[in-house]
A and B are shown apart, each in its own frame.
Chain A
């Protein structure tokens, strides 16, 4: 959280819509452990990471859906034959990412 704190504050002050993605489970050789965070804005800004860069694009798309619906989602990313070139983790690990709207001051 500390690593994305400054960016999130800046975005919040600019009234950006923010979603937070957090690694809540990790197994195998996943590059980032539980607690790793990626913050994104609807406008496409990003801070932090949930993997070595393999799934951030997919997480961003899902985050926009979450901002639209207002409903958090738990998404599993892992390697699989048909997904290996899509949103799999090239490193062979598996992660569960919880994606939710940032709950700021309302």
Chain B
């Protein structure tokens, strides 16, 4: 039972999502349960009935990143339990070291997002162009991406406009747990890409995860303006206001229609 705080520190350092539940009252104040984002647990609350109630809540609350105290009725008694979720830092993976990517990295950093830019073209993916990015990778995205931890905290943004390396990258993205996937391109380009993905066996449920055309329609034209529209869409989606509406997950993407 000892060492749960140490286990939480380890989880934070390893960038694993974890939720710590601490019993504030009841039989054993201070008793703890640590729940990980892969569904595993360590620690125990007593009685078992309390443990089960809290564990169920813990798994539900983990993706929120929130901290809160909740009351539970156990054997006619009210027991308060404090739950705090720790999510790994947000990360944005940008495919295509294009002009817009330079500005998008700047905005992402303002939002405390770790940034990675991937492009196989050495001419584009240079430190001179991207002095501010956390990680700059010259390589084929579909070969590099599986080594990155593309979890729910990750935003994947495709800006390359080039199906040659974006299509394989999109297949990796759709197989990942990434919380946001967006791709640059007109309605026609998006519809054509979706058609190719269908032909490759991807379902509508998978394809609808793609925000394409990417970004809120702010009417912007310059690379920094386009970057603003992309970052704005990511914030909205992350805050539960998917600009495509609450039904987006149930309907084909707009670009299909």
Could you tell me which A residues sit within 8 Å of B by CB distance? 1-2, 5, 8-9, 12, 20, 22, 24-25, 33-35, 71-72, 74, 96, 98, 100, 102-106
Q: For residue A102, which residues in chain B have a CB less than 8 angstroms away from its CB?
A: 5
Could you tell me which B residues sit within 8 Å of A by CB distance? 2-6, 8-9, 12-13, 22, 24-25, 29-30, 32, 66-69, 82, 84, 86
B2 to chain A, nearest CB (A): 5
Report whether B9 and A35 are in contact in the complex, using a CB–CB cutoff of 8 Å: no
A84 to chain B, nearest CB (A): 25
Q: For residue A1, which residues in chain B have a CB less than 8 angstroms away from its CB?
A: 8-9, 12, 84, 86
Report whether B69 and A24 are in contact in the complex, using a CB–CB cutoff of 8 Å: yes
Report whether B69 and A105 are in contact in the complex, using a CB–CB cutoff of 8 Å: no
Report whether B5 and A104 are in contact in the complex, using a CB–CB cutoff of 8 Å: yes
Report whether A9 and B9 are in contact in the complex, using a CB–CB cutoff of 8 Å: yes
A62 to chain B, nearest CB (A): 14
Q: For residue A35, which residues in chain B have a CB less than 8 angstroms away from its CB?
A: 66-67, 84
Interface centre among A5, A9, A33, A72 (most CB of B within 10 A): A72
Report whether A74 and B29 are in contact in the complex, using a CB–CB cutoff of 8 Å: yes
Q: For residue A2, which residues in chain B have a CB less than 8 angstroms away from its CB?
A: 12, 86
- How far, in angstroms, from A33 to B69 measured CA to CA in the complex? 11
Q: For residue A33, which residues in chain B have a CB less than 8 angstroms away from its CB?
A: 67
Q: For residue B8, which residues in chain A have a CB less than 8 angstroms away from its CB?
A: 1
- How far, in angstroms, from A36 to B192 measured CA to CA in the complex? 48
Report whether A104 and B84 are in contact in the complex, using a CB–CB cutoff of 8 Å: no
Select which of B2, B5, B12, B22 is within 8 A of A98 by beta carbon. Answer: B22
Given contacts A24-B69, A34-B68, A34-B84, contact A103 B3 (CB under 8 A): yes
Q: For residue A8, which residues in chain B have a CB less than 8 angstroms away from its CB?
A: 9
Report whether B69 and A106 are in contact in the complex, using a CB–CB cutoff of 8 Å: no
Q: For residue B24, which residues in chain A have a CB less than 8 angstroms away from its CB?
A: 24, 74, 98
Shortest beta-carbon contacts, A-B, top 9: A35-B67, A72-B30, A24-B82, A34-B67, A103-B5, A106-B2, A104-B6, A24-B69, A105-B6
Report whether B4 and A103 are in contact in the complex, using a CB–CB cutoff of 8 Å: yes
Q: For residue B29, which residues in chain A have a CB less than 8 angstroms away from its CB?
A: 71-72, 74
- How far, in angstroms, from A84 to B217 measured CA to CA in the complex? 52
Task: Return the chain B residue nearest A104 by Cβ.
Answer: B6
Q: For residue B3, which residues in chain A have a CB less than 8 angstroms away from its CB?
A: 103-106
- How far, in angstroms, from A9 to B5 measured CA to CA in the complex? 11
Report whether A103 and B32 are in contact in the complex, using a CB–CB cutoff of 8 Å: yes
Interface CB pairs A-B, < 8 A, 22? A1-B8, A2-B12, A2-B86, A9-B9, A24-B24, A24-B67, A24-B82, A34-B68, A34-B82, A34-B84, A35-B66, A71-B29, A98-B82, A100-B22, A102-B5, A103-B2, A103-B3, A103-B4, A104-B3, A105-B3, A105-B6, A106-B3
- How far, in angstroms, from A33 to B67 measured CA to CA in the complex? 9
Report whether B69 and A34 are in contact in the complex, using a CB–CB cutoff of 8 Å: yes
Task: Return the chain A residue nearest B22 by Cβ.
Answer: A98
